[in-house]
Structure 1
Amino acid sequence: MASAQQAEAVPWQAEAQVVAAQKRTVRLLAAAQIVGGVGVGVASSLGSLLAESVGQSETYAGLARTAMAAGAAAVGVPLAFIAQRRGRRSSLSAGWLAAALGGFILVAAAVLESIPLLVVGMLLFGIGSATNQQSRYAAADLAMPDRRARALSIVVWSTTIGSVIGPNLADPGAAVASALHLPPLTGAFLLASVCMTLASVLLWAWLRPDPLVLSRRRPEGEAEPPKTGASAAVPSDSMGDTLRMVREHLRRAPRAAFAFLAIVVAHTIMVAVMTMTPVSMARHGETLTVVGITISGHLLGMYAFSPVVGWLADRFGHLPVALAGQAIFVVSALLSGLSHGSVAMVMAGLLLLGLGWSFSLVAGSALLSEATPARLRPGVQGTADTVMNVVAAVGASLSGPLMSSVGFGGLNAIAGILVLPVVVCSFRLARIRTRYGQWPRRGLDSKP
C-alpha cells in the first residue's frame, strides 16, 4: 500500500519517455529560437531603414514598425488556435514559415519599390515576433511542476543569441545582395528568411512527439477529468469558442488571471519606457554610442539572466518572483525618473527595467501554464501574448505625448504606478491562501 501511494505521488512528467521528450523539446526550441531569432533581430534593427529606403520618406520608417507590431498582435490568437487544434509543432512551424515568406516579400518590395508589398511583408514578418514569444510556452508543457520556469527560461535566454546576431547582418547581407544584384538592405532580409525557414523545418521535422499533444494524454489533477481521444486534440470547434473558454477560465481562475495581468503590465511598462529612453538621452546630448550601450544593457537585463530567474521562480514560487519583478520596476522608475541626465542612473534604470520584465515574464508565463489545464493552455497563452502586444503598442504610442507633457521623470512615475493593479491582484490570492491554508491549486481556482 505504501509503495502504491508513493508511486501515485510521482508526477507523470517523471516518466522516462516524458523526460526524454522534454529534453528533446527544449533543445529543439532553443535551436529554433537561436536560428529564427536572427530574423527578429533583423526586423528590429533594419526594418525601419528598409521601409525608409523603399518609401523615400521617414514616415514609412514608422509605418514599418507599426505594421510589424500589428502583425505580431494579430496572429497571437490564431497561432494559439492552431496549437489548440493541431499541437505546438504545427503552430510554431507555420509561424516561422509565414515570417520567412514575409521576408521574401520585403525583398520583392525593395526591388519593385512597392509600398503595398512593403506593408504586407512587414505584417507577415511581424509574425516572427509572435512565434518567438509563444515558443517559450511549449517548453513548459512536459516540464516537471518544480522546473517549469527553468525550462521556459532556457527558451527565453536563447533569444539573446539571435537578437545579437541579427542586427549585425547588415554587412554580410550587403555582400549577398551585391552578388545577387539586389538593393543593399535586402541581403539581410534574405538571410533572415532563410534562418526562419530553417527554424520552421527544424520544428516540423523533429518536434515529435508534440509536447502539447503528449501532455493532454496525462492526468493533471484538474477539477474535471482530462479529455482523451478526439476531444483532447480538438477542444473547441471555432476560434470564438476558444476565446469564450479563455474568458471563462480567467474569470474563474485567480492565479491564471494574476499571471495574465502581470505579463501584460510588464510588457507595457518595458516598451513604453524603452521607446522614449533614447529620445531622452539624445535631448541631453548623449552620443549614439552611449545610447547603443544603454540599450544593450537593457537587452542584457531582459534575456541574459532568465535562467537564473527561472531557477528563482521554481525555488521560491512563481507568484513571489513575479511580484519581485514589480518591485524591480519601481526601483527602475526611481533611478531613471530621478536621473536628470545622469548616464549611469539611466543605464542602471534601463538594466533593471529589462530585469523586471524578465522576472515578470518568466514567472508569469510559468504560473499561467501551471494554472491552466492543458486543453485550454494554448488559447490562454496566445490571448495573453496578443493582449500584451496590443496594450504595449498603445503604451508606446502614448509614451511620446506623455513625455512631452510630463517629462521623462513623469513617464517613469506613471510606469511605476502601473504595477499597482498587479499588486492589488496579489492581495486577492493572499486572501484565498488564507482561506485554504496554501496557494490554491487549479481545482480551487475554479471555485468562487
Structure 2
Amino acid sequence: MLGRSSALPFAANSAAVADKWRLLAHPDPGPKALADFCRGSQALHYCADAHCTGPPGPVRNPFLLPDRAAVFSAEAGQLSLRVYGRPCVAGQFSGVLSSDRGREPGPTACTFWPALPALPVFSSNPSRIRGHRPHGLPSLRLYMSMNKEKLPFKTWLYFLGQSITMISMVMAVSMAALAGTSLAPQAWMATIPFGFQYLTLMVVAYPAARLMARLGRKKVFLMAAVPLMLAGVAGYIAMQERSFVLLIFAHMMLGAFISCGNFNRFAATDGVPPALKPRAISLVVAGGVIAAVAGPYLSSTLREVEGLQMFAASYAAFLPMGVLSFIINLLAPADAPATGSAPHARGFFGSLQLVVSNPMVLLAVLSAALGHAIMSLLMVQSSLQMSCLNIPFASASTALQWHVLAMFMPSFFTGRIIQAIGMRSIIYGGIGLLIASCIINVYGHSYGVLTFGLIILGLGWSFCYVGGAALLTRVTEHMHGNVEIQGINDQIIAVMATLTAFTASMLMAWPGWSGTNLISIAVCVGLGVLAVRAFRREGQEGTPA
C-alpha cells in the first residue's frame, strides 16, 4: 500500500512528528506501528501545487493518511483522494474524518480536521502564499476558510419553502380538531379531516418522488403550491357554509402540499458539495423554528374575525401562503441534470427492496422514521400525562412550545456538528438522547421534569431526523433512482406518524405513560444495535463511514 519514498512529504520542527513520518515513509512499517500512527491522528497536509515547496515534480508515490485506508496521489497539481480503494470527491466524508478542498491564489489542499492540534508544531513563518506554511502545510486560517464555504442561495429559498410547509402543518394541528368538532355530524368524527390529511400525506409521498425524478423538483414544487391554495379556498368555504365534506377536502389538499414540501430538505442538497450537504439539510429543517412561532400566532390571531365564521380567516390564510410558495419556487434555479433528467426508475417495490437489503440505507430511513415516531408518540402522550397531573393547559402549551423549539433550533448548527464529528456520532447521539428522555419520563412526575424530558426528546429527534436525512443523501447519492428512495423514506415516516397518531391514546390506556416510554427505550436499543452493525459492516466492506 505504501510506496517507497526517498524524501519526506514535508519537514517538521518536532522530532516526534518527524520520527512518525520517517516510520511512515518506510516501505513496510508493520501493522502495529501503522495502527499507532493512525491512532495518533497526525494528519498529512500536502499541497500538490508548483507554488508549494516539497518534493519537486509530480508526486507519484501514494502516502497513507491518518484515516485507516485513505490514499491520495497528485499528478501535475491534480489532486485525487481514494478511500478504501474507491475514488472520492474532495469534500466527502472518509471514515469519520471529513476532507475538503480549499482554494487560495494557487494551491489546492486536502485537509483532515484531526490535524488541527498538530499544526502548531510546524514552522510558523508564513510563506509568500497567503494562508500557507512552508512545505505546503495549510495554516489554521486556510483550514477554517475551507470549512466556512457558503451555502448556495437556493438553500435559503428551500429554507423559506420549508418554513411555509411547517407553518401550514402547525396551523392544521391547532385548528383541525376544533374546526372538525364544530362541523362534524357526530362528535367521534371530529378528527376525521385531520386523519385524511395524514392519509393523503402518506399516499402522495412516493408518487411525488417519482414526479420529481421525471420532471425535476422545481416543477413539482410549483405544482404543489396549487393544493395549498385550494386548501385555503375550500377551508374558507367549508367554515362559512358549514360543510364538513369540504373541510375534509381542504385537509386532504393540505396533506398533498405538506407531502411535497417535505422534500425541500433533499432538494437543498442537489448539486451541493458533499461536505455542505449536512449543513444544507440542517438549515432547511430549521425552518420549523419560524413555524413554531408563526403557526400558533396566525391560528390564534385569525381565529375570530368580525363578520366571518370561526377559523374561516385562518383557513383563508393558506391561499396567500400558496401564492408565496409558488413565487419562492419560481425563483429557485433549474434542477441539476442528475435530478431532473432521465431517471433510472426502480419502481416502488424495487426501491423498497433496496431500502430493506442495504443496511446503511435502512439505518438512514429508520433513524428518521423511528425517531419521528417516538417523538410524535411521546409528544401527544405528554399532553395527556400533564392533564392527568392537573397541570393547567397554558402551562402544558408552554412545555410543548419549548419542545418544538428544541426540535428545530439545533438545526441551525447540526450540519456543522455532522461535519465535525461525523454522521455516525450524530445518529448515536440522537438515539442516546431519545433513551435519556424516556428514562426522565419514567422517573419524573412533575411539570418541570416532564418539560425537561420534552426538551431532550426534541433534541434527540433533531439529531436522528437530520442525521438520517444526511446519511441517506450520502449513501444514495450515486444510486440510480435515489429520488424514489427519498420518496420511500418519506412514506415510511408518514406511515409511522399515522400509526402513532392513532395509537397514542390506546397506548396511554395500556400499558400507560411509563410502559410506553419503556417500549420506546426498547425500540431505541434495537435501532442502536442496527446502527452499530451497519457502520461496522460498512467499515469492513471498505466504504466510508
Q: Which TM-score tier does this pair reach, normalised by the shorter chain?
A: 0.7 to 0.9
Displacement, 1:43?
Answer: 0.9
2:470 matched to 1:366? yes
What is the correspondence of 1:105-144 to structure 2 with a 5 Å cutoff?
Answer: 105-144=234-273
Per-residue displacement from partner, 1:319-354 (whole Å, max 9, x unpaired)? Answer: 221121111110000001211x21111111111111
1:3-42 equivalence runs, <5 A: 3-4=75-76, 6-8=78-80, 11=90, 23-42=152-171
Q: 1:434, CA displacement in angstroms? A: 4.7
Q: How far apart, CA to CA, are the structure 1 residues paired with 2:179 and 2:486?
A: 32
Aligned to 2:529: 424
Cα distance in 2, alignment partners of residues 103 and 314 from structure 1: 40
CA RMSD, aligned part only? 2.6
Q: Over residues 23-47 of structure 1, what are the superposed CA-to-partner deviations in whole Å (9 max), with x where a residue is unaligned?
A: 1210111122234433222112112
Which of 247, 260, 274 is the equivalent residue of 2:352? 247
1:163 aligned onto 2:309: no
Judging by fraction of residues, say which structure has more strand: 2
Matched, 1:86 2:215: yes
Matched residue, 2:487: 382
2:282 to 117, 142, 153: 153
Q: 1:263 aligns with which of 364, 368, 372?
A: 368
1:100/1:125 contact within 8 Å kept: no
Task: Return the match for 1:350 from 454, 470, 473.
Answer: 454
Q: How does 1:179-328 map to 2 (within 5 A)?
A: 181-203=307-329, 205-210=330-335, 213-215=336-338, 232-236=341-345, 241-328=346-433
What's the CA shift for 1:363?
Answer: 0.7
- The residue that corresponds to 2:203 in the other structure is 74
SS at match of 1:419: helix
Offset of 1:428 from its aligned partner? 2.4
Q: What residue is the counterpart of 1:226 in the other structure?
A: none
Larger RCO (CA under 8 A, 6+ residues apart): 1
Deviations 1:164-189 (A, max 9, x none): 212211354257x53xx431311011
Could you tell me how far 1:59 is from its partner in structure 2? 2.7
CA contact (8 A) 2:228 2:321 kept: no
Distance 2:202 2:356 in 1: 22
CA contact (8 A) 2:264 2:284 kept: yes
Q: Which runs of 5+ in 1 are unaligned?
A: 217-229, 441-448
CA contact (8 A) 1:32 1:200 kept: no
| Counterparts of 2:262 and 2:197, CA distance in 1 | 14
Whichever residue aligns with residue 235 of structure 1, its letter is: H
CA distance in 1, matches of 2:149, 2:417: 24
| Alpha carbons 2:91, 2:275 under 8 Å: kept | no
Which AA in structure 1 matches 2:403? Answer: H
Deviations 1:269-315 (A, max 9, x none): 01111111111101111001110111011101110111222211122
**Residue 7 (structure 1) shift:** 4.6
Identity of matched residues, %: 22
Q: Please give the TM-score of this superposition, normalised by the length of structure 1.
A: 0.85
Residues 138 and 34 of structure 1: CA distance in aligned 2, closer, same or farther (over 3 Å): same
Contact 1:429-1:439 within 8 A present in 2 as well: no
- Specify whether residues 360 and 173 from structure 1 end up closer, same or farther in structure 2 by C-alpha distance, changes over 3 A only: same
User: Residue 30 of structure 1 contacts residue 158 of structure 1 at CA under 8 Å; is this kept in 2?
Assistant: yes
Describe the SS at the equivalent of 1:233.
coil
Q: How big is the shift at 1:208?
A: 1.4
Query: What does residue range 378-417 of structure 1 map to in structure 2 within 5 Å?
Result: 378-417=483-522
Which piece of structure 1 moves more, 73-82 or 423-432? 423-432
Q: Is the 8 A contact 1:172 1:187 kept in 2?
A: no
| Structure 2, unpaired ranges of 5+ | 1-57, 59-73, 82-88, 93-100, 104-147
The whole-number CA distance in structure 2 between the counterparts of 1:265 and 1:171 is: 32
Cα distance in 2 for partners of 1:146, 1:107 equals 45
Choose between structure 1 and 2: higher helix proportion.
1
1:43 aligns with 2:175: no
| Secondary structure in 2 matching 1:337 | helix
- Kept in 2, the 8 Å contact 1:253–1:371? The answer is no
Q: How has the CA–CA distance of structure 1 residues 192 and 8 changed in structure 2, closer, same or farther, with 3 Å as cutoff?
A: same
| CA distance in structure 2 between the partners assigned to 1:415 and 1:188 by the alignment | 36
Alpha-carbon distance in structure 2 between the residues aligned to 1:48 and 1:323: 36
Return the letter of the residue paired with 2:342: A
Name the CA distance, whole Å, in 1 between partners of 2:328 and 2:291: 16
Point out the more displaced range, 4-13 or 123-132.
4-13
Opposite residue 379 of structure 1, the aligned amino acid is E
Q: Aligned with 1:286: secondary structure?
A: coil
Q: Distance in 1 between matches of 2:150 and 2:460?
A: 31
User: Relative to structure 1, is the Cα distance of residues 142 and 353 closer, same or farther in structure 2, using a 3 angstrom cutoff?
Assistant: same
Paired amino acid for 2:531: S
Is the 8 Å Cα contact of residues 36 and 198 (structure 1) preserved in structure 2? no
Question: Deviation at 1:93?
Answer: 2.4
Report the Cα distance in structure 2 between the residues aligned to 1:318 and 1:335, rounded to whole angstroms. Answer: 26
User: What is the total number of aligned residue pairs between the two structures?
Assistant: 413
Q: 2 CA distance for matches of 1:90 and 1:305?
A: 30
Q: Which sits farther off after the overlay, 243-252 or 44-53?
A: 243-252
Distance 1:252 1:394 in 2: 24
Shift of 1:439: 3.5
Shift in alpha-carbon separation, 1:248–1:55, aligned structure 2, 3 A: closer
Write the letter of the residue equivalent to 2:461. W
User: For residue 233 of structure 2, what is the aligned residue in structure 1?
Assistant: 104
**Letter of the aligned partner of 2:324 in structure 1?**
L
Say if 1:399 and 1:411, in contact at 8 Å, map to a contact too. no
- Please tell me whether Structure 1 or Structure 2 has the larger radius of gyration of its CA atoms: 2
- Structure 2 distance, partners of 1:21, 1:380, is 28
Contact map agreement 1:29 1:135 (CA 8 A) in 2: yes
- C-alpha distance 97-4 of structure 1, shift in aligned 2 (>3 A): farther
Q: CA deviation at 1:266?
A: 0.6
Shift of 1:64: 2.5
Distance (Å, rounded) in 2 between the aligned partners of 1:401 and 1:135: 33
Residues 170, 329 of structure 1: alpha-carbon distance in 2 compared, 3 angstrom cutoff: closer
